[in-house]
Amino acid sequence: MQESWNSEKSKDLYGISHWGKSYFNISKEGDLQVHPSGKPAQKINVHTLTEDLVERGLRLPILIRFSDILHSRIQLISNCFEKAIKEYSYRGDYKGVYPIKVNQERHLVQDIVKYGEKFHLGLECGSKPELLIALAFLKSEEAFIICNGFKDSEYIETALLSQLIGRNTVIVVDRMAEVQLIINASKKLKIKPRIGFRCKLNSQGQGKWIESSGAKSKFGLTPSEMVSSIALLKKAGLLKSIELLHFHIGSQIPSIQSIKSSVKEAAHFYTELKKLAPALSLIDVGGGLGVDYDGSGASDSSTNYSEQEYANDVVSIIQSICDERKVEHPHIISESGRTLVAHSTMLIFNILGANEILKSNIDFKVTDKDSRLVQEIFEIYENVGKHNVNESYNDLVEKKRDTLQLFKYGALDLKQRAKAEDLYWASATKIQKFAQQNKEDAGDIYYSLEAELADTYFCNFSVFQSLPDSWALKQLFPVMPIHRLETKPDKRAVLVDLTCDSDGKIDSFINISEGKPQKYLEVHKLLKSQPYYLGVFLTGAYQEILGDLHNLFGDIDAVHVSINKKGYMIDHVVEGDAVTDVLSYVSYDKTILIEKIRKSCEHYIQEESLTRSEARLLMKHYEQGLSGYTYFEE
C-alpha cells in the first residue's frame, strides 16, 4: 500500500528548512520553489523555470543564478554589522570587500558591485588578474580595493597608480619582501601607498581549510617581521602609510569559538601595532564566515553560529579589547565571499537512466534441479527474520564469495550465477529491512548494506567540472529532486556522473534526522514519459573556477535570472564550452581535425568502401560534434 505523502514530508526529508534559509520551499503541487528575495510572496518555480530554459534552447546541465539572492545576501551581511555596531555603540564603521577569487564571473561581480554600492562594498583581489578586474569594475571612492596575495612590482605599481583615478586601494603586505618593493615603487612613482599588514595568528582555524593560519601559514608577518617592516617604512618616511591590520584564518570556519579566539588575538595585535604606527585605523578580519551546507550545525560543512552572531562577536571583541587598551575603535572590514555568493547559484541536471540492482522480489522458482548453492541462498532468503539477522548476513556474505569462486572454476553456469545473484540482492534487501528495525544489534549491517543496495542513477554532469569540492574535500552539498515532491521518493540511489572516473559520483548526502551523512539519496522511480531533474544547491562559491576538464567535459551553460512583475526574466545567458573550445585547450585545431577526417574519407571513397553520401553524412556528424555541447544531448 502506498504510504500517504505530501510536499511537507519531502521538505522535511531533504532538510530544506535547515539549509535553505528563507530561499527555498516546495509548492503544494510538489515543485521546488525559490524565493530569491527571501520573501515568501516572491517565488519562482524551479521546475517550470528549468523546462522554460530547455524550451529556449539552453542545455542541461545548467547553472542558474538568482541575482536577487545575491542582493539579499549582501544586504544581510551589511545589516548584521550595522545592527551590531548600533547595539554595542561601536565608534567605527563597517565596510565589506568581496574576494573576487570566490567567483570571478563577470555578471556576478557586476551584480555584487551594483547591489553593494549602497553599503560601500568593495573588492578584494589575490592576484594581478583579479586586481585588473577590481580596478575596472569598482569605481566607488568610498569602497575599498584590498590587495592580497603574491605581489611583484607590476602589481604594486598598478595598485599605487590606481589611487590617481580615485580608487581606494590598500596594499596588504603578505610577505616581508613586499615592504621593500612597496618603498621602491612609491619612490619611483612619488605616490604615498596605503599599506596593511597581514598578521600570522597563532589561533588556528578549524575544519577543512585550517592551513591558512598558524605560524607556518603561507602568508602573513611574524611579530618580528612586523617590527622590522615598521622600521623600514619609518626610515623611508612612510610610517603614516600603515593604515590597516589584516588576518584571514581560512574559509568555512565551522565553529564560532575559533573565530572568537582569532579576533581576540588580532585585536591585541591591533592595539600593539597602533602604538608603533599611529596612523593605523582599519582592522580587516578576512573571510571564514561559513555557510551551513548540511543544516547540521555540527560538521565541517556547517556552522554553529549565525551571521548575526558572527558580526556581534567581531564587533564586541574588538571593542572590548580597544576599550581596555584605551585605543580608538578601528573601522572594520571583512572579506566574506562564500557567504555572499554560495546561495545564489544552483546546478540542475537530468537523469539519463538507472541501474536498478534491487530485485526485492523473486520472480522465478528454485527447485532441486538448481545448484546446491542457489538452493542454499534461497534458504537464507526464506528463513531470515528478526531473530537471525546477523547470522543470515554472515551466511549470505559467504555464499556470495562461493558464487564467484564456483563460477571461476567453471562449476556454475551463467544462468545459475544470475539466479544466485538475484537471490543475493533479494536476501540482502530483506536482511536490511530487519536490520533497520533493530539498529541497536544490527546497525553495522544496516549501514554497510545502505550503499550496496542503493540503485545507481546516471547523471548528466561532471562532478569534476561542477562540484569539485564534493570530490576533493568530501564537502556535502544539498541535493534533491526539483519536482514530483508531492509523491514519495521511494527509491534510494547513488549518483554517478558522465566521466569514466570511479570518483565521479556523489555518494554522501545530508541526513537531518540522523545528524550524520547517509550513503544514498531518496529519489523517485524514473518514468518513461518524462525527464527527471535533480538540483544541487548552494554551489555559488568556488566550484566553477576550481572545476576542471576531466574527460573534456567543459563549462556548462549558465543563466542569470531576476524576479520581475511577471514572475521572472532571463537577464544573461553565458553559453558553456563547445567541443571545439575544450579541444583547443589541449591544442587541437578544428580545421586540422576536419582535414584529417576528410582525407580518410577520400581514401576510402577511392577504395570504394565508402559512398559519397556516406562520406557526407560522416563529415556532417563530425562537424556537428565539434560545435556541440560536451554533455549528453537528447
Ligand X SMILES: *Cc1c(COP(=O)(O)O)cnc(C)c1O
Residue nearest to ligand X (CB): 287
446 Cα distance to chain centroid? 30
Whether cis (ω within 30° of 0) applies to the bond prior to 61 is yes
Closest CA to 360 of 415, 442, 436, 422: 422
- Shortest separation between residue 284's beta carbon and ligand X, angstroms: 8
Which CB, 31 or 294, lies closer to ligand X? Answer: 294
**Of 80-88, 96-104, 257-265, 487-495, which part binds ligand X (CB under 6 A)?**
96-104
207 binds ligand X (CB under 6 A): no
Which CB, 262 or 499, lies closer to ligand X? Answer: 262
First to last CA, the chain: 36
- Shortest separation between residue 553's beta carbon and ligand X, angstroms: 26
For the chain, the maximum distance between any two Cα atoms, rounded to a whole number of angstroms, is: 98
Which CB, 13 or 249, lies closer to ligand X? Answer: 249
- Shortest separation between residue 225's beta carbon and ligand X, angstroms: 18
- Shortest separation between residue 77's beta carbon and ligand X, angstroms: 10
**Of 95-103, 346-354, 482-490, 564-572, which part binds ligand X (CB under 6 A)?**
95-103
99 binds ligand X (CB under 6 A): yes
Give CA–CA dist 1/12, Å, rounded. 22
Number of residues that bind ligand X (CB under 6 A): 17
Cell triple for 468: 569539485
**Cell match 539552453: residue?**
58
101 binds ligand X (CB under 6 A): yes
179 exposed, middle or buried (CB, 10 Å; 0-12, 13-18, 19+)? Answer: buried
465 binds ligand X (CB under 6 A): no
Q: Are 501 and 443 in contact (CB under 8 A)?
A: no
- Alpha-carbon distances of 557 from 338, 477, 536, rounded to whole Å: 22, 20, 15
| Site residues (CB under 6 A) for ligand X, limited to 148-167 | 148
| Site residues (CB under 6 A) for ligand X, limited to 325-344 | 335-338
CB atoms inside a 10 Å sphere around CB 181: 18
| Site residues (CB under 6 A) for ligand X, limited to 248-307 | 248, 251-252, 286-289
Which CB, 229 or 336, lies closer to ligand X? Answer: 336
| Site residues (CB under 6 A) for ligand X, limited to 337-396 | 337-338
- Shortest separation between residue 129's beta carbon and ligand X, angstroms: 15
Which CB, 160 or 541, lies closer to ligand X? Answer: 541
Closest CA to 42 of 578, 593, 561: 561
- Alpha-carbon distances of 383 from 177, 419, 442, 443, 563, rounded to whole Å: 75, 18, 17, 20, 59
- DSSP label at residue 142: S
Closest CA to 96 of 126, 110, 76, 68: 76
- Shortest separation between residue 475's beta carbon and ligand X, angstroms: 13
* 443: phi then psi, degrees, rounded to nearest 5: -55, -45
- Shortest separation between residue 196's beta carbon and ligand X, angstroms: 11
432 binds ligand X (CB under 6 A): no
Which CB, 296 or 339, lies closer to ligand X? Answer: 339
Which CB, 66 or 310, lies closer to ligand X? Answer: 310
Question: Which of 85, 102, 263, 476 touches ligand X (CB under 6 A)?
Answer: 102
CB atoms inside a 10 Å sphere around CB 618: 16
Give CA–CA dist 207/469, Å, rounded. 14
- Shortest separation between residue 147's beta carbon and ligand X, angstroms: 10
| Site residues (CB under 6 A) for ligand X, limited to 130-149 | 148
User: Interface residues with ligand X (CB under 6 A)?
Assistant: 99, 101-102, 124, 126, 148, 248, 251-252, 286-289, 335-338
